[in-house]
Amino acid sequence: MRISVRLFARARDLAGADRLDVQLSEPATVGQLKEQMHEQCPPLGSLLPQLLVAVGTDYATDETPLDETADVACFPPVSGG
């Protein structure tokens, strides 16, 4: 399946794009998505240990399963306020 991951803040700056399209074999988890993102986009490596993933509007863990319809976003720890 193909997942189009939205990128924000420093994740977007490192990738140089606000989306990253990732190909994954099913079934897939967030952990596998992150590995694949790193492979496709090595500059994200420096942020990888801190990178957060949201599926829909909820924070996901590496074990969270993904399907093709999921809205997926990746970003660094939040710093609003």
Chain residues binding another protein by CB under 8 A are 6, 8-10, 13, 46-47, 50, 54, 57, 59, 71, 73, 75-81
In whole angstroms, how close is the CB of 56 to another protein at the nearest point?
A: 8
2: CB partners within 8 A, 6+ apart: 21, 22, 23, 24, 68
Tell me the helices (H) and strands (E) count for the chain, helix number first.
2, 7
Shortest Cβ distance from residue 52 to another protein (Å)? 8
Nearest residue to 68 (alpha-carbon basis) of 23, 14, 12: 23
Q: How far is the CB of 45 from another protein (least distance, A)?
A: 13
Q: Which is nearer to another protein, 25 or 78 (CB)?
A: 78
Closest CA to 54 of 37, 38, 69, 71: 71
Pick 7 or 28: Cβ nearer another protein? 7
